[in-house]
Chain A
Amino acid sequence: SAVISQKPSRDICQRGTSLTIQCQVDSQVTMMFWYRQQPGQSLTLIATANQGSEATYESGFVIDKFPISRPNLTFSTLTVSNMSPEDSSIYLCSVDGTSLPVQETQYFGPGTRLLVL
């Protein structure tokens, strides 16, 4: 399985500001994903980060609010823009665990805990 790290691990931010979260993987992976986990809730997929092209966003999430970069096969960033208290969540990066032969799994980073005041 891949080793995934996220920075920062947690942050407290003021409303109206933006925070960029970094996700680093120790090996090259095809697919990287960003999830949101609101307090006491399950995981919701925000977008798929595609290397060399724009991210693919799920219903209810837009690029202006959650811009994503994927400059190479081991790194991605998620920015939470113009934050409000409703953005207080855990943001999780995940990667696909597929290698030859194809077996589809997903591995998660430790998460970034965001509190917006």
Chain B
Amino acid sequence: GQQLNQSPQSMFIQEGEDVSMNCTSSSIFNTWLWYKQDPGEGPVLLIALYKAGELTSNGRLTAQFGITRKDSFLNISASIPSDVGIYFCAGQGRSGTYKYIFGTGTRLKVLA
């Protein structure tokens, strides 16, 4: 099925560094969600975005809904070892359908 493109696909960073990842689509989305999935667990919702240009923070995480509505960005500041995991974006094209398309994922590995 259709997927959103996430980049980078994977990344190694040093503890304390900031991390940026993005999600892009050829289609317009009305809602963007960002999830983190730890090994052996289901995805956990980190941030939800509902308006173009919206910037929302959750602790060290900040996400933005792109102005074009075709992309979204997630930043993690001062990374720590527990930030390790796979980060997924998810976009909803039509409000009210509750159907989300998931990104390909960014695998983050933090070196202590």
User: Which A residues lie at the B interface, using CB under 8 A?
Assistant: 1, 4, 31, 33, 42-45, 48, 58-60, 92, 96-98, 103-111, 113
Q: Which of A48, A59, A109, A111 contacts B1 (CB 8 A)?
A: A59
Please tell me if the beta carbons of B1 and A103 are within 8 angstroms of each other in the complex.
Answer: no
- Tell me whether B33 is interfacial, beta carbon within 8 Å: yes
Please tell me if the beta carbons of A105 and B105 are within 8 angstroms of each other in the complex.
Answer: no
- Cα of A44 to Cα of B90 in the assembled complex, Å: 11
Total B residues in contact with A, Cβ cutoff 8 Å: 25
Please tell me if the beta carbons of B1 and A58 are within 8 angstroms of each other in the complex.
Answer: yes
- Name 12 A/B residue pairs within 8 A (Cβ), A-sorted: A31-B98, A33-B98, A43-B43, A44-B1, A92-B43, A104-B96, A105-B45, A106-B33, A106-B100, A108-B35, A108-B42, A108-B43
- Cα of A43 to Cα of B92 in the assembled complex, Å: 14
Please tell me if the beta carbons of B95 and A106 are within 8 angstroms of each other in the complex.
Answer: no
Interface residues of B in 19-41 (CB under 8 A from A): 31, 33, 35, 40-41
- Cα of A22 to Cα of B104 in the assembled complex, Å: 26
- Cα of A63 to Cα of B55 in the assembled complex, Å: 41
- Cα of A43 to Cα of B102 in the assembled complex, Å: 6
Interface centre among A42, A97, A106 (most CB of B within 10 A): A42
Please tell me if the beta carbons of B102 and A42 are within 8 angstroms of each other in the complex.
Answer: yes
- Cα of A117 to Cα of B48 in the assembled complex, Å: 39
